[in-house]
Structure 1
Amino acid sequence: MKQVTDTLVMIRPVQFRMNEQTAVNNYYQEDLNIIPETANTKAQREFDEFVTKLKAAGVQVIVIDDDKKLDTPDSIFPNNWISFHENGTVGLYPMFAPNRRRERRPEVLDIVESSGFRIDNIVDYTSAEEQDVFLEGTGSLVLDRVGRKAYCALSARADEELLIEFCEDFEYTPVIFTAYQTVEGKRLPIYHTNVMMGIAETFALVCLDAIDDKKEKKSVVDFLRSDNKEVIAISEEQVNNFAGNVLQVHGTDDKRLLVMSSSAFAALTTTQIAAIKKHCDILHSDLETIETLGGGSARCMMAEVFLPKE
């Protein structure tokens, strides 16, 4: 069982803009007051530079163009609707925003298979949308694939019963809590778990300050430490700069890299950077437009491929 892959699916945007349907509970989104064409051009430039850096580091990136006819402003974040697993299974997930449901394109699976991977089974949770129940993939689920733990901060986009169902289907132990951010003086749930924590092979970045319940906070730390992870705490202010939205991958010569945005990297302290570099190198790229309008960052843009090779 592997925690880290060298292969990613990334969707190149064609109509990226601020998604009004997700802004209702993604408080990280901000309007830049630029026309959609400009937003998309800037997002494409950031996307292309990011992919170039990943490939230069030896990461395999399957780049798939979005379909302009679908009008899917958040297609750049595929990890929310699909996950690829070592046993040949693909998970398909129910999405909160109706316009994000159009991101689920069968041709994405066809392209992954044509890239040399085998899909044996599809577990489809999308009918839950009919009951207004959601679980947005590895946005809602931060997976310790080796320790078989699924960390999940409950929110309007992460339903507890559906999380339990996922854990039964994929043989994970659920680690359930609620993570909060302060919005205009109120404590409101963070929309996706992967904004406030990321799990690598031997360490985890996690915003413990976001978990207000002391028992839940202790539970998260205890589970991480029981799997021999060094816990590197980050602050709520660093979460606002997407320092928790990270993913470990491996590239040339099996070298481990923690991937994040440049704003995330700039928000880290020298002590935190040193703690991470004990475990692996850091790769960062400028994603300012994508982060500001999309309310998601580097990790959200990468769907990990763990499928067996043909």
Structure 2
Amino acid sequence: MQHTTDTILMVRPVNFRMNEQTAVNNYYQTAMKGVLPETVNVKAQQEFDNFVEKLTTIGVQVIVINDNEKLDTPDSIFPNNWISFHENGTVGLYPMFAENRRLERREDVFDVLEEKGFVINDVLDYTSAEEEGLFLEGTGSLLLDRVNGKAYCALSARADEDLFIEFCEDFDYFPVVFTAYQTVEGERKPIYHTNVMMCLAENFAVICLESIDDKKERKQVLQHLKESGKEIISITESQVEHFAGNMLQVRGINDELFLIMSSSAHQSLTGSQINTITKHCKIVHSSLDTIEACGGGSARCMMAEVFLLKA
């Protein structure tokens, strides 16, 4: 069992914009005033293409799927919320909070992967929970420590506890549940996705501990991370706003490890934090300013890890 993969699925946007349906509880989204929607989409495509080029340069296998022009899918650039791929050949399909995000789920993704030799044995489909108004948005909501068999989940409108427990039972993970908050106009409100405030790497974890208001929950999360041998790199809520929690460790050429993040996230890190990370792996960052502003997501959200084995 490996914690990291060298294969990533990404979706190139064709209708990217600020999604009004997700903005109701993603407080990181901001409208770009005075910028035409076409311009926003072109900028997002440029950022996407530059990001893919950086990943391929370090040896990451990137499978790029083009979004469907006929669908209103402004957030298709974030595929990790609707699908996950596992070493045992199982694929997870997830219930999405925003109705227009449900259109992102595409069966042709399976065909593309199978054509490339990946083996899909089973599909665990949780999407019927949408009918009950319950959601669990893939590896946005779930942070998986595959080696230690633990799953971390910050509860929110997009991460239902019962569904999370069901996932853990199905995939054999020990559940670590908590709530992470951000301050919005003086009020503490749940952070919409776990992967915004936390990143799990092989030997370290980047986490915003101050966002976990409940001291018992904070202590429990810390205890699980330390038990699993992770060095803790604590980030601030201000750094979270620059997407410093939204990172992913990947494998590149010769199995070398890299931590992938946006340039905004990288600029927000302190020298000490960078030194701690680079003890473990190299950093690669790319400018994702438009995607972050309109989408309220960053580098991690754009990458769906492929752990499927090849035939």
Partner of 2:168: 167
Partner of 2:18: 18
Q: Give the residue type in structure 2 aligned to 1:214.
A: K
Matched residue SS, 2:32: coil
Partner of 1:118: 119
**Distance between the aligned counterparts of 1:44 and 1:114, measured in 2?**
25
Instruction: Kindly report which structure 2 residues correspond to 1:75-90, keeping only aligned pairs within 5 A, or say none.
Output: 75-90=76-91
Partner of 1:144: 145
String of CA shifts for 1:10-39, please: whole Å, max 9, x gaps: 000000000000000000000002221111
Partner of 1:3: 3
**Distance between the aligned counterparts of 1:63 and 1:148, measured in 2?**
29
Structure 1: tracts of 5 or more residues without a match: none
String of CA shifts for 1:185-218, please: whole Å, max 9, x gaps: 0000000000000000000000000000000000
1:235 aligns with 2:231: no
**Distance between the aligned counterparts of 1:112 and 1:78, measured in 2?**
14
**Distance between the aligned counterparts of 1:286 and 1:307, measured in 2?**
29
Partner of 2:267: 266
Partner of 1:29: 29
Quote the RMSD (CA, aligned, Å): 0.4
Partner of 1:297: 298
Partner of 2:182: 181
Indicate the percent of aligned positions where both proteins have the same amino acid.
69
Q: Give the residue type in structure 2 aligned to 1:226.
A: E
Matched residue SS, 1:216: helix
- Give TM-score scaled by structure 2 length: 0.99
How far residue 71 of structure 1 moved from its aligned partner, in angstroms, is: 1.2
Structure 2: tracts of 5 or more residues without a match: none
**Distance between the aligned counterparts of 2:299 and 2:110, measured in 1?**
22
- Give TM-score scaled by structure 1 length: 1.00
Matched residue SS, 1:96: coil
String of CA shifts for 1:257-298, please: whole Å, max 9, x gaps: 000000000000000000000100000000000000000000
Matched residue SS, 1:69: coil
Matched residue SS, 1:187: strand
Q: Give the residue type in structure 2 aligned to 1:301.
A: M
1:209 aligns with 2:180: no
Q: Give the residue type in structure 2 aligned to 1:174.
A: P
How far residue 184 of structure 1 moved from its aligned partner, in angstroms, is: 0.3
**Distance between the aligned counterparts of 2:111 and 2:127, measured in 1?**
19
Number of corresponding residues: 310
String of CA shifts for 1:74-96, please: whole Å, max 9, x gaps: 00000000000000000000000
Partner of 1:193: 194
Partner of 2:68: 67
**Distance between the aligned counterparts of 2:256 and 2:48, measured in 1?**
22
Matched residue SS, 1:296: coil
Partner of 1:254: 255
Matched residue SS, 1:289: helix
**Distance between the aligned counterparts of 1:200 and 1:10, measured in 2?**
20
String of CA shifts for 1:118-142, please: whole Å, max 9, x gaps: 1000000000000000000000001
String of CA shifts for 1:122-167, please: whole Å, max 9, x gaps: 0000000000000000000011011111100000000000000000
**Distance between the aligned counterparts of 2:114 and 2:73, measured in 1?**
23
**Distance between the aligned counterparts of 1:293 and 1:146, measured in 2?**
34
Partner of 2:227: 226
**Distance between the aligned counterparts of 2:53 and 2:119, measured in 1?**
26
**Distance between the aligned counterparts of 1:110 and 1:195, measured in 2?**
30
Q: Give the residue type in structure 2 aligned to 1:135.
A: L
How far residue 8 of structure 1 moved from its aligned partner, in angstroms, is: 0.2
Which 4+ stretches in 1 moved above 2 angstroms? none
